[in-house]
Amino acid sequence: MTAITGVGAYAPRFRITSEAFEDAWGQFHAAGISEKAVPSADEDALTMGYEAATRALEAAEIAPVDVDWLAFAASRPPAAEDDLTARLGAMLALSESATRHAFTGSTRAGTRALWAGLDALEANATTALVVAADAPQGDPDDGIDHAAGAGSAAFVLERDGPAEIVDRAEYSAPYPGTRFRNTGEDETQGLGITQYDRQAFTETIGGAVAGLEDEPDPDAVAIQAPDGKLPYRAAGAAGVGTEEVRAAATVHDLGDLGAASVPVSLASALADGYESVLAVSHGSGAGADAVVVSVASKTDRSDSDVPAVTALEGDGPLTYAEYLRQRGIVTTGPPSGGGAYVSVPSWRRSIPQRYRLEAGRCSACDALSFPPDGACDDCGALADYEPIELAGEGTIEAVTTISQGGAPPEFAEQQARSGDYAAAIVALETDSGDETVSVPAMGTDADPAAFGVGDRIETTIRRIYTQEGVTRYGFKIRPAGE
């Protein structure tokens, strides 16, 4: 039997309320949603997936090198033709030989990835990491965009653990036009035929649940949530009550999470201590997956809950204008003249530093240098460096605020979306904490005023900028504990 041994979940800090949409459009088209999560200008499905994955690995107390199977799912990945599992694996420091699979093209992609992880564990994998992240986007004046949120979830799967996946089934039927995004288009669309959409949703949800070997009796039900009402309308088809649906629902506060909708609700239910959870996805086309997770009774296990680390709370309400700016719909555009050119091959050589904070110890004087290239910062020797990975924590040594017009040209477009940001010199620590090395870094996840000299910080990975059509990702800093 396959079990979930670690859970991670993440949602961006920004929120926009239904009232902000009503003020802008005169109405709000997403029923049952009071507010939704909005990705920052430097966030996308890949960076959100990284956030959830690091939390899941922490919860499971699993070293990244022990993961031998990775899946990444998103209905709209940040690159249409690029295997992002290679980048995600490098960000997490997974073994280069770990098997990797990408799932996309449907809001069902998250449960498809989980399904494949179960198959991998039943074959020859020992530790699987399943990551689902999404940020749907529609036309600004339609229900899909009004509902569209952002978030991610990740699960560590092993052959034994506190949360066993005891049953699963799938069902499909052709319902074209319920939700689609054509090649070359940015916005997800739908025909908007209410009865047709509802029939596709309830038939596939009910069909998947009916295919389970045993009739489920869950404490909580994670159902695909394109808005805040449709999951409850499908409760009868799934043979469950609305209270159980409400127990796992995240849509009311985070919005429609696309391929991450069911994974985030499942993660939330497990983190909240529910002992029996039914998870049912729906993908346009249309198909559905049903998965039953059973957690051992608290009296039968030493731990009180499934190990979980979640960060789903928001703290940044946006106006509608700020929402459009963060999405990149309203910006000043890229500056003329371009910026500092860094070729993709040169950027690739710096990935160990940008993803995993790899410093170097000078073989001549034992001092640390970052990046470990060229002459030693201390002794000036052109000596070899021993790779040393930093801990991702440290202290701000100097900081300033980069305001409009002050950013280097390559960062100007992102600044037009995100606003002012902090630029700092930070003393990053080694794992032992007894050595530091000074590193320049950009701030994220907080206003510039939140960064002060002497403050503790931690690192995360975000978008840096895009050049030649290729997005560069790398570490940024945020206040510790964010």
Q: What is the largest CA-CA distance in the chain?
A: 74
Rounded to 5 degrees, what are φ and ψ at 310?
-125, 150
Domain ranges of the chain: 2-327, 344-479
Buried b / exposed e across 310-327, counting CB within 10 Å, b at 16+? bbbebebebebebbbbbb
Torsion angle of C-alpha atoms 329, 331, 333, 338, degrees rounded to 10: -120
Indicate the pLDDT class of residue 283, thresholds 50, 70 and 90.
Answer: very high
Q: Among 39-43, 107-111, 249-253, 466-470, whose mean pLDDT is lowest? A: 466-470
pLDDT at residue 107 greater than cutoff 60: yes
Which pLDDT score, from 0 to 100, does residue 302 have? 46
Which pLDDT score, from 0 to 100, does residue 45 have? 97
pLDDT at residue 437 greater than cutoff 80: yes
Which pLDDT score, from 0 to 100, does residue 327 have? 82
- Type of residue at 381: A
DSSP labels for 149-212? --EEEEEEEESS-SEEEEEEEEEEEEETTSSB--TT--SBB----HHHHHHHHHHHHHHHHHTS
pLDDT tens digits, residue range 63-96? 999 999 999 999 999 988 889 999 999 999 999 9
Indicate the pLDDT class of residue 301, thresholds 50, 70 and 90.
Answer: very low
Between CA 261 and CA 133 the distance in angstroms is 9
pLDDT tens digits, residue range 32-75? 999 999 999 999 999 999 999 999 999 999 999 999 999 999 99
DSSP labels for 285-304? EEEEEEEEEEEPPGGGSSSS
pLDDT at residue 297 greater than cutoff 80: no
Instruction: State mean pLDDT over 432-448.
Output: 92
Q: How far is CA 24 from the centre of its chain?
A: 28
pLDDT at residue 231 greater than cutoff 50: yes
Which pLDDT score, from 0 to 100, does residue 331 have? 64
The CATH label, of 3.50.50.60, 3.40.47.10, 3.40.710.10, 3.30.70.980, for the domain at 2-327 is 3.40.47.10
pLDDT tens digits, residue range 113-127? 999 999 999 999 999
Q: How far is CA 3 from the centre of its chain?
A: 22
Between CA 254 and CA 250 the distance in angstroms is 6
Between CA 173 and CA 336 the distance in angstroms is 51
Q: How high is the mean pLDDT of the chain?
A: 91
Question: 373 or 13: whose pLDDT is higher?
Answer: 13
Q: Which two tokens stand for residue 258?
A: 């696309």
Which pLDDT score, from 0 to 100, does residue 343 have? 86
pLDDT at residue 221 greater than cutoff 90: yes
Instruction: State mean pLDDT over 185-207.
Output: 89
Which pLDDT score, from 0 to 100, does residue 416 have? 81
Q: How far is CA 268 from the centre of its chain?
A: 14
Highest mean pLDDT among 194-198, 290-294, 299-303, 434-438: 290-294
Between CA 394 and CA 446 the distance in angstroms is 17
pLDDT at residue 6 greater than cutoff 90: yes
Which pLDDT score, from 0 to 100, does residue 299 have? 46
Rounded to 5 degrees, what are φ and ψ at 96?
-65, -15
